[in-house]
Structure formats: C-alpha cells, structure tokens
Amino acid sequence: MSAAIAPKPIRGEINGSSKAGRVKKRLTSRWATTGAIIIAMLWTLPTFGLFISSFRPAADLSNSGWWTILTNWGFTFRNYEAVLFDSGASSASLGSYFINSLVISIPGTIFPLTLALMAAYAFSWIPFKGSSWLFVLVFALQIVPLQMALIPLLRIFNQPWLDISSSFAAVWVAHTIFALPLGIFLLHNFISEIPHEVVEAARVDGANHTQMFLKVIFPLSLPAVASLAIFQFLWVWNDLLVALVFSGGGKDVAPLTQRLGELAGSRGSDWEVMTAAAFVSIIVPLIVFFLLQRYFVRGLLAGSIKG
C-alpha cells in the first residue's frame, strides 16, 4: 500500500528552467500564490487567535476580540497558572491530567510497538503453517472500527479475575490492542524488505531467532519503528474515545483530552479557561510535530488507515 501512496518523486531539473516553462509558470503563479496564501491564512488564523487569547486577561477576553490586541493591550500568564495548578472543585487542574496523558501515552506507544515488531518478524522471517492466512487476518482487522470492541472489552476488564477498568492498565491494554493490526502490517512491510543476504549471513553465523531479532532486525527497522512511534504517540495523546470508555474519567487516570472535553461542557464560554486549557493540551503534539515533521510525514505516507 505504501508504494502506491508515495511514488518516488522524479524531478526534472531541466523543465523548470526552460524559457517557455518559466513564462507559463509566472502567468499561472499569481493566482496560485493568492490561492495558497488565502488557504494558508484560513488554516493558521484559528490556532493563532487561540494562542494570542490564551495570554489575555479574562476581562479583555470577554470584552474584545483577539484581533484588537494591539489597541487593547493586555498580557498575563495567569490563565495558564490557573488551569494548570489552581485547586478547587471547578478548577481545571490540568497539571494532573497532563501527567496522566504522559503516563498513558509513553507505555501506550512502547507496548504495541514491541509486540507488533515481534509479530511482524515472525510473519516475515519464521516460516510456519498458516502464516500467510494469519497475516491476512491481522491485515483485515484494520477495518474493524474500534467501536465494535468497546462494550465487550470493557466487560472483560470488569471481570473479577482481571478487574483493571478505570486504571492506566486498562487504557494501555486497549491502546495496545487497537494499534496492533496497523503496526504489524506496516512493520511487516518494512521488515520483509530487509535483504535476504543480511538475514542469511546472520543465520549462517549461528544466530537463532531471538538473537536475530535483537541484533539484526531491531536495529535495521529503527527508522520504521521511529516513524510509527511518533504516529502512535500522537494518536494516543490525542485520543478521546478510548480514554472515555476505559479511564473512568477521574483525576487519577483520565488524560487531557477527556478533561478538555468536560471543560467544554461545563465552562465552555469561560474563554480565559478554555483558550489556555486547549493550548496546554495541544502543545506537546505541536512540539512533536514541528521537531519531527519529517518522520511524521513519512509515517503518514506509509500507512493511512487507522482506528
């Protein structure tokens, strides 16, 4: 699938510099540039407005729009301080939820990727009976919407012998399960492309499967694992549905998205709360995005079906 999505760019250097090409490009480019700028503005402005507003005092926020900031100057960190650290029944307490998001997302990335990499290795390099139809089955599971699994899975978590609902463990396990089909599929695509000679050479040296996995497959598949890890981390960090069903909703386990959703219901028009709260929840994805954009794009190009 990845091959079809991301054809190798074949860039002709000659064409752009030919005289006719240049003239044509200039003729069409004025409209193109205008269009591009309009779209880019429309796509950036909302986030920008929210960002500016999150630093404005509450009184300014409710009396004027953020676009008047220059004539209506006001700047404060109070909104952030309030949503992060104030305690009290109605305060956002996002500090705790931020930690919860971290505690959910990091194992929620490590667990499924490890298990997926192991399974992908087996499907690629350990010949066994039924291997190919099992792999097709795993591949096909990508189309099952996670809504199909929520109610029974919650029931399983509530069983007395397991009893992990409303805990981090429940959220981790759920995210692990839901990430496996796509993870196995994408990593299998990557691992099965490792040249035969490399694997054979290790095998001749007497490496068994676990040694092969640790010393050959794992290091070679790191680029794919990294892309997928970023993707999975963002997916888990941004998830609302799994959290709502499995976290129990309390301050002990629930992630930022869930708290933000609650605030949208209870304090949706207190913009000094909502602007800062929204920004607290999107800051980590934004940092990840801007630092690791290249890997993020690569991951996206490799696999676009998820959930």
Partner 1 sequence: MQSAHALALAGQQIVRADKFWSESGSKLGTGLIAIAIFVAVVGLLMFLADNAPKKGRDVLQLLFFVAPALLLLGAGLIWPAIQTIGTSLTNDGGEFVGLANFVTIFTDPTQQSVVRNTLIWVVLVPLLSTSVGLAYAVFIDKSRGEKVYKALVFMPMAISFVGASIIWRFMYTYRAEAFPQIGFLNQVLIWLGLEPHQFIASAPFNTLFLIFVMVWIQTGFAMVILSAAIKGVPDEIIEAASLDGANAWQRFWSVTVPWIRGSLVVVVTTITIATLKVFDIVRTMTGGQFKTSVIANEMYNRAFALGQPSIGAALAVLLFLMVLPIVIYNVRVLRQHKEAH
Task: Name the residue nearer to partner 1 (CB basis): 9 or 219.
Answer: 9
Return the residue matching tokens 């970023």: 230
How far CA 13 is from CA of 17, 29, 104, in Å, comes to 7, 19, 47
Task: Name the residue nearer to partner 1 (CB basis): 74 or 268.
Answer: 268
* Distance in Å, CB of 198 to partner 1, minimum: 19
Task: Name the residue nearer to partner 1 (CB basis): 30 or 196.
Answer: 30
* Distance in Å, CB of 227 to partner 1, minimum: 13
Task: Name the residue nearer to partner 1 (CB basis): 22 or 200.
Answer: 22
Q: Would you state the structure tokens that stand for residue 112, as one six-digit string?
A: 């499924």
Residue 204 burial class via C-beta count within 10 angstroms: exposed 0-12, middle 13-18, buried 19 and up: exposed
Give the N- to C-terminal CA distance of the chain in Å, as an integer: 17
State the alpha helices, DSSP H only, in the chain.
Answer: 2-5, 13-17, 19-53, 58-63, 78-85, 94-125, 131-140, 147-158, 168-191, 196-204, 209-212, 218-220, 222-238, 241-246, 256-266, 271-291, 293-302
* Distance in Å, CB of 194 to partner 1, minimum: 16
Task: Name the residue nearer to partner 1 (CB basis): 31 or 197.
Answer: 31
* Distance in Å, CB of 17 to partner 1, minimum: 11
Task: Name the residue nearer to partner 1 (CB basis): 55 or 121.
Answer: 121
Distance (Å, whole) CA 241 – CA 247: 10
* Distance in Å, CB of 6 to partner 1, minimum: 5
Q: Counting every residue, how long is the chain?
A: 307
* Distance in Å, CB of 200 to partner 1, minimum: 17
